[in-house]
Amino acid sequence: MAKRETPEVNAGSMADIAFLLLIFFLMTTTMDTDLGLARMLPPPVPEDEEPPPPIRERNVFEVLINANNQLLVEREPMPLSQLKDAAKEFIENPHNLDNLPVREEIEVPIIGVIETTPNAVISLQNDRGTQYQMYLAVQNELSAAYNELRNELAQREFNMDYADLDTERQRAIREVFPQKISEAEPRNVGGGR
C-alpha cells in the first residue's frame, strides 16, 4: 500500500486570528479604575467658635436616616425612590412656593441674570446604626437630583449635556446650582445602639 501524504493544516492565518482576538480584548476590557462618590468634608470646627446663625427653615431640606434605614424627609416618611424628585422640587422651587427656598436673581458669567435658589441647603443626618449602603444610596439620589437639574439647565442654555460643556460653562452652571449637602455633626438620630 502506498504511503499517504498527511495533509497539513495551513497555519499561516493563525497569527492574524490571534491578533484579531488580542485587539478585540484590548478594546473591550476596561481598566479597573477606582470609581466613587466624591465629597468634600467640612473643615473641623474650632471648639471656641460660636455656632453659625440658624438658616431659615424654608431654605433647609431635612433628610434623616434612622438605624432601620428609613427616611424622614421634611418630617414625613418617604421611600428612597421619591427622594430624587422631592430634592429636585426643593432645589428648583419651580412654582415659587412659600415653603420652598427663596428665589432670587443672581448674576452668573456667560448665562447672565437668572432666577434661582441660592440659599437652598440639603441637610443630611444619619444614625450610627444606618447601613452604609443606605447612606450612600441617599447621597447618590441627592447627587442625582443636582446632576439632573444641572443637565436640564445645560440643555436649556446651551443645548448640550452638562458633561459635554467646557469648564467655564460647567462652572457657570455649578454657580446656579451649587451642590450644598450639609451633614450635621454626628449624633444619634434614633434607633441606634
- The footprint of other proteins (CB under 8 A) covers 4, 6-9, 11, 14-15, 18-19, 21-22, 25-26, 29, 31-44, 69-71, 79-81, 126-137, 139-141, 143-144, 147, 186, 192
Sign for the CA dihedral angle at 91, 96, 102, 104 comes to positive
By beta-carbon proximity to other proteins, the closer residue of 31 and 113 is 31
Residue 112 CB, nearest approach to other proteins (Å): 28
CB of 104 to other proteins, least distance (A): 27
Q: Do 59 and 123 form a contact (C-beta atoms < 8 A)?
A: no
Classify residue 146 by its DSSP letter.
H
List own/partner pairs for 74-80 with CB under 8 A and 24 or more apart.
80/134, 80/137, 80/138, 80/141
Q: Which is nearer to other proteins, 32 or 57 (CB)?
A: 32
Between 109 and 186, CB nearer to other proteins: 186
Q: What is the CA radius of gyration of the chain?
A: 27
Q: Least distance in Å: CB of 122 to other proteins?
A: 14
